[in-house]
Structure 1
Amino acid sequence: MEDIARECGVSKMTISRVLNGKKNGVSDSKRDEILAVADRMKYRTNRLAKSFFSNRSGFIGLALPFEGLLGSYYFARLVSGIQDALKDSEWELALFDTLSESFDDGQKLASLYLEKRVDGLIAIAPHYDDKFVESITEEEIPILVAGEPALDDAVLTVNLDDEAGIEILFDHLRKKGHKDIGFISGPDNVLSAQTREAAYRMLMSRHRLLVKNEWIIKAAYSREEARNKSLKFLTRKELPTAMIAANDSMALGFLDAAIIRGIKVPDAISIVGFDDLQESASSYPKLTTVHQPIRRLGCEATRTLINWINNGQRPEPLPGIPAKLVIRQSVRDLS
């Protein structure tokens, strides 16, 4: 910076202002000259020095269980949204596995912030038995949960409106004449799975329809396990006319099982999902589902966290992102 200042005939402070994107007090022609000289001299920001000066690390942390999520379509879309929000900012993304021994509890993840290794954290897919979100919240660390309901009122979330999404699917089935409706639920310790199953039970009760426990399939949020559980389920003598799955992967697993059992969808039984994964538009039959704007979710979560870091104040609770029904061919009209 001193070399650039000497060649351009200005102070080092002026060089600092220009290289940090500040426009006050410097003419456009002088700014262009400074940037050209900096480029010719191959000037690069020293991230370590900058972090000492600004008291910031320059990193946003993304904390998630790698197993089951890393490399998935959901993860890819979410990270795309995060990168959309980061591309014009001073931050870069750092990943942390909440299942690893290094970051498997709140105190270890909190150390990332307290040691200035990250300036804030986005948590993905926390479980009810995870303690790290609660521990970090107690430390007043900027953290929000993306893609899941709130653990409690103290935790800031950016999420799809899960209850509204299930209600949209339920109303669609009812308009098509379905009354005997089953449910494919996710793991008990996953927040969205519990919220979506609770919404299904509430809607069945509101419409005075009987919830039969034998018509509820419990599976992991995975196509393979849903397929295996559905293979057994589809041997029952009495089946519902329609099933709601808590996510698309499980709905696709149900479709796999129906093909293996020789049961036609939607002629013999209808199925709807939740997420609108890429595969859902090419399955046989194509899956009716609720669209979850995953990329938008990642972008809004990141922008909210950056505003929190910049303003030093926790944002107000955010409304759920509206759900949208995507109608395809997996539901039979009984009306």
Structure 2
Amino acid sequence: MVSIKDVAQKANVSTATVSRVISKPEAVKEETSKKVLKAIQELNYQPNVLARQLRRLETKTILVIVPDITNTFFSKVLRGIESVAVSNGYKVILGDAGNDVEREEEYLNVLRQKQADGIVMLTARMETGVIEKFSVDYPLVLACEYIEGSTIPTVSIDNVSSARKATEYLIALGHEKIGTITGPLNVVLGKDRLKGYTQAMARHNLSVEPFLVQEGTFTFDSGYNMMMKFLALSNPPTAVFAANDEMAFGAVKAVKSRGLRVPEDVSVIGFDDIEFSAIFEPPLTTISQPTFEIGTKAMELLLKLMNEDEITRNQYILEDSLIERDSCTRNNA
């Protein structure tokens, strides 16, 4: 079945432009309109009139889907989304997927049933084809998590380079035996942050033994348990990169439970810079994401989709920063 995306590719325009040619031809340049109409005719594209009509029945409501509502990282992202939404007359409702892909898919019905006008997804774990197909007919923006090669508007940081930066910080402090507690490796953030770690180690000719990589679940408990595995080694790592702050907190607790000290015995660096990182003991060195800005940019993109305005860029990569605190120190061994 021919989709609006097929027409856009053939005419070399955006899907928003195709949509405007169909619904508001007077708003499109004549030359562009002719290209799109020719593509529609050649492909025998049949517009989804029902979906378009339903979209015009505004609810002035936005749905935001988070993978895990207990993860405090998402609070500032949500604030950013809501600040733009409210100023434009929209209210925000929250859907907690609970790290369940099936529940993620169920939330898409909120738009199908016309209970919201658009979706910002802070999780992207369902099958790529499902999200891609849905995004053709309904306004959808991805933030934080992402799909490689997708044309869906996306806002995030470069998680590979950020993780590489964190690992190289530990290397610059003289650490050579560095462990990592990854996120789930079936999730893009887990894979990308592991990739950044391995790139940094390879760049400095440091070996990554299998026992130096332990898979966590982005939770405090998994950070604690994986660090206990490191500490059980006869020659444990002198530093650990945890792929988020929650796991870093768990790792620090594990070190202390063994009567050891952070950073004197083991340096620990996290990722996300959630609010508790600054007041944790010791204050956590971490990678800070521009969470509020991720939220505001995602909502601005969603507004453009809902208004059928043209989006010139599909992917926005925002800058992260390394926050130095007290959980890392030089390795003098």
Choose from 241, 248, 254 the match for 2:238.
241
Structure 2 unaligned residues grouped into runs of 5+: 1-52
CA separation in 1, counterparts of 2:291 and 2:80? 7
The amino acid that maps onto 1:218 is E
Partner of 1:121: 119
2:317 is aligned with 1:317: no
CA separation in 2, counterparts of 1:103 and 1:200? 31
CA separation in 2, counterparts of 1:283 and 1:171? 23
CA separation in 2, counterparts of 1:87 and 1:252? 34
SS at match of 2:322: strand
2:160 is aligned with 1:163: yes
The amino acid that maps onto 2:61 is F
Compare 175-184 and 241-250 and name the one that shifted more: 175-184
The amino acid that maps onto 1:80 is R
> Taking structure 1 as reference, are residues 171 and 122 closer, same or farther at Cα in structure 2, changes over 3 Å only?
same
Number of aligned residue pairs? 280
Partner of 2:61: 59
Preserved CA contact (<8 Å) 2:62 2:93: yes
Q: How far does the alpha carbon of each residue in 1:86-125 deviate from its partner, in whole angstroms, 9 at most, with x for none?
A: 121122112234469997364x544433443222111122
The amino acid that maps onto 2:120 is I
| Runs of 4 or more consecutive aligned structure 1 residues displaced over 6 Å after TM superposition | 100-103
Compare 308-317 and 277-286 and name the one that shifted more: 308-317
CA separation in 1, counterparts of 2:104 and 2:129? 6
Q: Equivalences for 1:1-335 in 2 at 5 Å?
A: 55-65=57-67, 69-98=68-97, 104=103, 106=105, 108-127=106-125, 132-137=130-135, 139-334=136-331
Deviation (angstroms), 1:213: 1.1
SS at match of 1:244: strand
CA separation in 1, counterparts of 2:262 and 2:218? 21
CA separation in 1, counterparts of 2:101 and 2:268? 41
SS at match of 1:78: helix
> Taking structure 1 as reference, are residues 284 and 309 closer, same or farther at Cα in structure 2, changes over 3 Å only?
same
> Taking structure 1 as reference, are residues 258 and 97 closer, same or farther at Cα in structure 2, changes over 3 Å only?
closer
CA separation in 2, counterparts of 1:233 and 1:166? 20
CA separation in 1, counterparts of 2:213 and 2:100? 35
Partner of 2:25: none
CA separation in 2, counterparts of 1:80 and 1:221? 21
RMSD: 2.7
The amino acid that maps onto 2:65 is A
Deviation (angstroms), 1:227: 0.7
CA separation in 2, counterparts of 1:53 and 1:311? 11
The amino acid that maps onto 2:87 is D
SS at match of 1:163: helix
Partner of 1:42: none
Q: How far does the alpha carbon of each residue in 1:277-327 deviate from its partner, in whole angstroms, 9 at most, with x for none?
A: 122112222211111122221111111111221234455223311111110
Preserved CA contact (<8 Å) 1:183 1:200: yes
CA separation in 2, counterparts of 1:53 and 1:121? 12
Partner of 2:37: none
Deviation (angstroms), 1:163: 1.7
Preserved CA contact (<8 Å) 2:290 2:319: no
The amino acid that maps onto 1:60 is I
Deviation (angstroms), 1:272: 0.5
Structure 1 unaligned residues grouped into runs of 5+: 1-50
Preserved CA contact (<8 Å) 2:123 2:146: no
Preserved CA contact (<8 Å) 1:105 1:131: no
